Amino acid sequence: MSDKLSKNELSPWPHRFAVSLVCATFPLIWVGGLVTTYDAGMAVPDWPSTYGYNLFLYPWQTWLFGPWDLFIEHGHRLLGALVGLITIGFVWSVWRHDSRRWMRGASLAVLGLVLLQGGLGGARVLMDQRQLAMIHGCVGPAFFGFGVALAVMTSNLWRAGITKPQTTPEMAGKLKRLSLTTLILIYVQLVLGAQVRHIPVTASPGTFRILVFFHLLMAIIVTVHIAQVYRSILRIYGSAPALRLPGYALGGLICIQISLGVQTWVVKYGWPAFLTESDFAAGHTINASSLSQSLTVTAHVAVGSLILAFAVMLYTRAARLFRTETTALGSGALMIGLAT
C-alpha cells in the first residue's frame, strides 16, 4: 500500500474518535477499578438490565443517591456503554474515511473487543464468577492499549510521516525490539497484578505467595526495561519528539507506580513485621475501606494501565518511524505485537 493517501483519507474524524475512545476508556478503567476495590461487582444482580430497568432508563435519583456500590457499578455500566458507542462511531468513520484495509479490519477488531469486554462484564454478573472479573480486568487494559495504537495509527504522524531521526538501522531495530519486549512485559505484569488483586478468598496462602513473588519480580524486570528504554531515548532519540513524550512518561510513571505499589501493600496489610520496632509502624492501624485506601489501590491499577498505554504509544510510533521499507507498513508485525 502506498504512503500517499488521498485527500479523502486525511479526514480527521477517525483520529478524533480514536482519541475520544482513549480519553473515555481511562476513566472507565478507574471506575472499573473502584468496582473491584469496593467489591461492588454484584451490587446489581442482573445484566444488561439494572434491577429490571433498561440501562439508560434506570432512575437517576436512585443511582446518584442510592448505595455507593450501586452508584459505582451502574456508573461503570453507563461509562462502558459510552465507550461502546464511541467505538461504533470510530468504526463508522474508518469505513467512511479510511481506505487502508488493515485499518478497517482493526476497527472491526476493536469493536469485537469492546463487545467481548461488555459480554465478559455481563457474564461475571450473571454467573457471579470472580475469575471472570479477573479476565474482564485483564481485557480492559488490552482494550485501552489497542485504542492508543489506533489513535497513533490514525494520526498525522503516522500518515504524513515525520522526518526520521538520524540513527543506524541497528539502533532503530534495537529500540523497536526493546519497546516491544517492554510492552509485553508490562502486560504480563498487569495480568499478574490482576491475579494478586482478584485472588479468590478460597485460594491457599501458598498460591498467593507465589503470585506476589512473581508480581514483585516482574516489577523489577519491567523497571529495568523501562530504564533501558529511557536511557536510549535520552541518549539517542532526544531529537525525536514523537518518542520523547512516551519515553519520559514511562520513566516518570514507573517511579509513581512503584511507590503506589508499596503504599497499596501498606494501606491493606500494614508494615512488615521487622518494622514493628519503629514508632510509625507500631502505631499504625489499617483503616479498611477508607478513602485513602481505596484511592491508593485503584490508582495503582489505573497507573498500570497508563503505563501500558504509553508503552503502546512508544512502540507504535517507533515502529512507524523506523519502518523498514521492506515490510510494507509494518502492520503485520504490529498486529502480532498487539495481539500478544
Q: Is 275 exposed, middle or buried (0-12, 13-18, 19+ CB in 10 A)?
A: middle
Number of residues that bind another protein (CB under 8 A): 56
d(CA 59, CA 103): 39
122: left (phi over 0), alpha (psi -120 to 50) or beta: alpha
The distance of closest approach from Cβ of residue 44 to another protein in the complex, given in angstroms and rounded to an integer, is 7
Looking at residues 152 to 181 of the shown chain, list those that interact with another protein (rule: CB under 8 A). 170, 181
Residue placing its CB nearer to another protein in the complex, 8 or 278: 278
Residue placing its CB nearer to another protein in the complex, 218 or 233: 218
Which value, to the nearest 10 degrees, does the dihedral of the CA atoms of residues 256, 258, 261, 265 take? -120
**Are 187 and 145 spatial neighbours (Cβ–Cβ below 8 Å)?**
yes
Contact code string over 294-323 relative to another protein, x by CB under 8 A: ------------------------------
- Please, where are the H alpha helices in 68-100? 68-97
The distance of closest approach from Cβ of residue 138 to another protein in the complex, given in angstroms and rounded to an integer, is 8
Q: Does 92 bind another protein (CB under 8 A)?
A: no
The distance of closest approach from Cβ of residue 307 to another protein in the complex, given in angstroms and rounded to an integer, is 16
Q: Does 279 bind another protein (CB under 8 A)?
A: yes
Q: Which three cell numbers stand for residue 257?
A: 507506580
Q: Which three cell numbers stand for residue 205?
A: 496462602
Q: Which three cell numbers stand for residue 61?
A: 435519583
Q: Which three cell numbers stand for residue 207?
A: 498460591
Contact code string over 203-242 relative to another protein, x by CB under 8 A: xxxxxxx-xx-x---x------------------------
**Considering only residues 13, 89, 284, 333, which one is a binding residue for another protein as defined by CB under 8 A?**
284
Residues in contact with 285: Cβ distance below 8 Å, sequence separation at least 6, in sequence order = none
What is residue 8's DSSP assignment?
G
The distance of closest approach from Cβ of residue 197 to another protein in the complex, given in angstroms and rounded to an integer, is 11
330: left (phi over 0), alpha (psi -120 to 50) or beta: left
Residue placing its CB nearer to another protein in the complex, 154 or 189: 189
The distance of closest approach from Cβ of residue 30 to another protein in the complex, given in angstroms and rounded to an integer, is 20
Q: Which three cell numbers stand for residue 62?
A: 436512585
**Considering only residues 54, 201, 235, 339, which one is a binding residue for another protein as defined by CB under 8 A?**
201
Grid cell 508480581 in the structure block, residue: 215
Looking at residues 46 to 75 of the shown chain, list those that interact with another protein (rule: CB under 8 A). 51, 67, 69-70
Q: Which residues pair with 296 in a beta bridge?
A: none
The distance of closest approach from Cβ of residue 290 to another protein in the complex, given in angstroms and rounded to an integer, is 6
Q: Which residues pair with 53 in a beta bridge?
A: 50
Stretch that binds another protein, among 82-90, 100-108, 109-117, 134-142 (CB under 8 A): 134-142
> What is residue 50's three-state secondary structure?
strand
The distance of closest approach from Cβ of residue 286 to another protein in the complex, given in angstroms and rounded to an integer, is 4
Q: Does 246 bind another protein (CB under 8 A)?
A: no
**Considering only residues 202, 235, 325, 326, which one is a binding residue for another protein as defined by CB under 8 A?**
202
Which amino acid is located at 182 in the chain?
T
Q: Does 188 bind another protein (CB under 8 A)?
A: yes
**Are 34 and 68 spatial neighbours (Cβ–Cβ below 8 Å)?**
no
Q: Does 283 bind another protein (CB under 8 A)?
A: yes
**Considering only residues 126, 262, 282, 328, which one is a binding residue for another protein as defined by CB under 8 A?**
282
169-197 and 130-153 helices cross at what angle (nearest 10)?
Answer: 150
Site for another protein, rule CB under 8 A: 39, 41-45, 51, 67, 69-70, 128-129, 131, 134-135, 138, 170, 181, 184-185, 188, 191-192, 195, 199-209, 211-212, 214, 218, 269-270, 272-273, 276-277, 279, 281-290
